[in-house]
Amino acid sequence: MSKKTLPYGLWNSPITPALLGRKIRLNDVQWAGDGKTLIWVEGRSGHNLLVAKTGNDAERDLTGDVPVQPTLGYGGGEFTTRAKRAVFASGGRLYKIPLSKGLSRPITPEFGQLAAPAISPDGRRVLYVHSYEGQDSLALTNLDGENFPQKVAQGADFYMQPVWHPSGEKIAWVEWNHPQMPWDGTRLMLSDFSETKILAGDADTPIFQPEFSPDGRYLSYIVQDGEWDSLVLYDLDTGKKQILISDSVLMMPAWVQGLRTHAWSFDSSHIFFLRNEKGKHSLWLVEVRNGKETEIKTPYTHITQLAASPEDSKLAFIGESPQIAQEVVIWNKGECKTVKRSMADNLVPDYLPSPEAIEWLAADGTTVHGLYFPPSSAEFKSEGLPPLIVSIHGGPTSQKYVQHNANSRNDAAFFTSRGFGVLQVNYRGGTGYGRSYMLTLRKKWGPLDVEDAVNGAQALVDLGLADPKRLVIMGGSAGGYTVLNALVHNPGFFKAGIALYAVSNLFTLEMDTHKFESHYNASLVGTLPEDAEFYKEWSAVFHADKIRDAVAVFHGAEDKAVAPSQSETIVAALRANKVPHIYRVYEGEGHGWRKAETIETFYQEVVEFLRQYVIFG
């Protein structure tokens, strides 16, 4: 069938706002102790719950009476499971629930914030991360909930990834202090409950995901000791360290609790692990005995939350690719079986573009990276050059990956199927391209990310892939900060900007943000009062009179990371300067959209904004 000719930006698409709103979020997956039951966290609109599936039986909801929702930092570390129970975090409490039948029951008093529960091997205790009135710790409680929790580690500013030794006599975890972030430098700690020691890491060496081998001989972890990451084994008997994998990207920036990129096999003979090459994941295993590596072929380009069966060779994970929506997967003996899909698998492939990795040079000669998605449709075509949306990731210590793009967190296909090109910019300061690349942004947040966004758009214009008169810049959080600064410092270059829960004032961000990021500015832009001029120069609210391009501003009313006042002040300045704009505040939403109705409304309003100010404007 021949394609119809219609102007770019006006194509009809099956990837509707309602479709994105209905998409299920898959956050984590783990095996129960029987090695047959798989449990995962499923987000339906604004509600998270645990879902279980045993063998060929139908899946079933475990929870529903109580939402599965940690409140510590940006979340993550939702649950743990062992034997016939699961323990999960909700608000300021831990709850337990049987895997057979029964309701959730609290096992800790309601106070503070908590996450990352870990049940002891004997099934009697639960270790978890706790924070109360700004003081973080590792806490221990009985699974029966009868005794008040006790602190087992305190004194550090942050704790993450607590794990038990199979004997139940040792624990390990990651901790760090301000002003470091977990990708800057952390410490790997080992304790037998009477003595605690540092095994690795320091203020400039990040440690990620400690795991004990099932036979109890080793503690594995990932370290970035230099430019790239290594997978290390620590022999608990001899104290010797062995590097199994080196010179690779193996870890992810630990924005949330509970991230896993490697997993021990049930018999301790090998370790499954992920490699990240320019935003594309591959799955591997390495033999502990001789270090031999073998790639496991899968159809997925983005893989998270590796979980090896405790009873056999099966591996579970969450996988996706540009053509495959996020799904829970079991790999077994060379085959991948889908257990749960996040959305219907019925989109015509022509609506789901595969990205092309592109590079361009910064002014200082650094190679900057991005992923380009061309307009794509099974039904429409256009003449001339397409409009381009330059998509800026948050963080800024983060990365855009090669993954499915028909979802509310990575929405390139929503726009390309309507006739827009999309450039996802992995600007300097992000992860996945070496430590030096990440460190380049230090005390240059604002100048470098804006430069990379502008130069990336110009690179596509020069390649004849984008209309220079219809360039749009879009981003959330730190990405929204880049959006506003790009409009301030390059007026007229972009036709419009879309800023989600954006930082507009670095001074108030310094005072209003949550504990996790309360010292983040020290490395990104400097300290006060010494660097006040830089703070002012790159706070868009003080220069809003320079913005002349249309702006769409969105914020969640309950955002704890970037206060809604950040958007309120920039909108007031836009209004005073009579800059064309729209402003929407979504009730019941925080730092990002979770409710189906919010997601649907947001994309409807973005489409209307783009058509009014970019296509017809």
Within-domain flag for 502: yes
Q: What are 146-156's pLDDT values in tens digits?
A: 888 999 999 99
- For 280, residues 6+ apart whose C-beta sits below 8 A from its C-beta are 301, 302, 401, 402
Can you give the residue range of the structural domain that contains 90?
Answer: 24-261
Which segments of 288-427 are extended strands (E)? 293-296, 302-308, 315-321, 324-332, 335-341, 356-361, 367-373, 380-381, 388-392, 421-426
Is the pLDDT at 83 greater than 90, yes or no? no
Task: Measure Cα distances from 299 to 172, 324, 337 in Å.
Answer: 34, 8, 11
Amino acid at 551: V
Task: Specify whether 8 is located in the same domain as 88.
Answer: no
Domain CATH number, residue 223: 2.120.10.30
Is 90 exceeded by the pLDDT of residue 406?
A: no
Whether residues 226 and 121 fall in one domain? yes
In a domain, 517, yes or no: yes
Residues 13 and 50 in one domain: no
Model confidence at 1, pLDDT cuts 50, 70, 90, reads low
Give the model's confidence band at 46: pLDDT under 50 very low, under 70 low, under 90 confident, else very high: confident
pLDDT > 70: percent of the chain = 100
The answer to whether residue 537 is domain-embedded is yes
Domain contains 59: yes
Tell me, yes or no, whether 11 and 61 share the same domain. no
226, part of any domain: yes
Beta-bridge partner residues of 54: 37
Q: How many CB atoms lie within 10 A of CB 349?
A: 11
pLDDT tens for 176-191 read 999 999 999 999 999 9
In this prediction, residue 595 carries a pLDDT of 93
pTM value is 0.95
Q: Do 460 and 555 belong to one domain?
A: yes
Q: Single out the residue in 216, 236, 261 at which a domain terminates.
A: 261
Yes or no: say if 250 and 231 are a contact pair by the CB < 8 Å rule: yes
Kind and range of the H or E run holding 19:
helix 17-22
**Residue 381 domain-assigned?**
yes
Question: Could you tell me which residues come within 8 angstroms of residue 324 by beta carbon, excluding any fewer than 6 positions away?
Answer: 299, 300, 345, 404
- Reported in sequence order, the residue ranges of 99-142 that DSSP labels E, i.e. its strands, are 105-106, 113-119, 125-132, 135-142
pLDDT-derived band at 135, boundaries 50, 70, 90 = very high
Same domain, 506 and 599: yes
Q: Which of 214, 231, 261 is the last residue of a domain?
A: 261
Average pLDDT, the chain: 95
Backbone angles phi, psi at 424, to 5 degrees: -95, 115
Quick one: which of 239, 243, 211, 240 has its CA closest to 224? 243
Q: At what angle do helices 478-489 and 447-462 cross, to 10 degrees?
A: 70
What would the two tokens of residue 564 be?
A: 């809604």
Q: Are residues 470 and 562 in the same domain?
A: yes
* 3-class state of residue 348 by DSSP: coil
pLDDT higher than 80, residue 395: yes
Q: How far, in Å, are 152, 356, 421, 533, 567 from residue 525 at the CA level? A: 36, 32, 32, 10, 20
Q: What confidence tens digit (pLDDT) does each residue in 309-353 have?
A: 999 999 999 999 999 999 999 999 999 999 999 988 888 889 998
pLDDT at 35 exceeding the cut of 90 = no
Same domain, 13 and 140: no
Whose tokens are 């898959």? That residue is 26
Same domain, 12 and 80: no
| pLDDT exceeds 80 at position 508 | yes
Rg (CA), the chain: 24
Instruction: Report pLDDT digits (tens) over 224-235.
Output: 999 999 999 999
Cβ-based neighbours of 136, under 8 Å, separated by 6 or more: 129, 130, 154, 156, 157, 158, 159
Q: Which residues of 514-541 are buried (b: 16+ CB within 10 A; e: fewer)?
A: bbbbbbbbbbbbbeeeebeebbebbbbb
- 592 and 489 share a domain? yes
What's at 243, amino acid-wise?
A: I
The dihedral formed by the CA atoms of 556, 560, 565 and 566, expressed in degrees to the nearest 10: -90
37 in the same domain as 13: no
Q: What is the per-residue DSSP string for 454-490?
A: HHHHHHHHHTT-S-TTSEEEEEETHHHHHHHHHHHHS
Could you tell me if 240 and 351 lie in one domain?
A: no
What DSSP element (H or E) covers 599?
Answer: helix 596-610
- What is the rounded distance in angstroms from the CA atom of residue 119 to the CA atom of residue 142? 9
295: Cβ contacts below 8 Å, ≥ 6 apart: 282, 283, 284
Of the given ranges (319-323, 450-454, 559-563, 603-607), which has the lowest mean pLDDT? 559-563
Report how many domains make up the chain. 2
Give mean pLDDT, residues 390-406: 93
Cis peptide before 166 (omega within 30 of 0): no
pLDDT at 64 (0 to 100)? 82
* 287 lies in some domain: no
Question: pLDDT, tens digit, for every residue of 94-106?
Answer: 999 999 888 899 9
Q: With respect to residue 514, please indicate whether it lies within any of the assigned structural domains.
A: yes
Domain boundary among 241, 261, 281: 261
Q: What is the CATH number of the domain that holds 608?
A: 3.40.50.1820
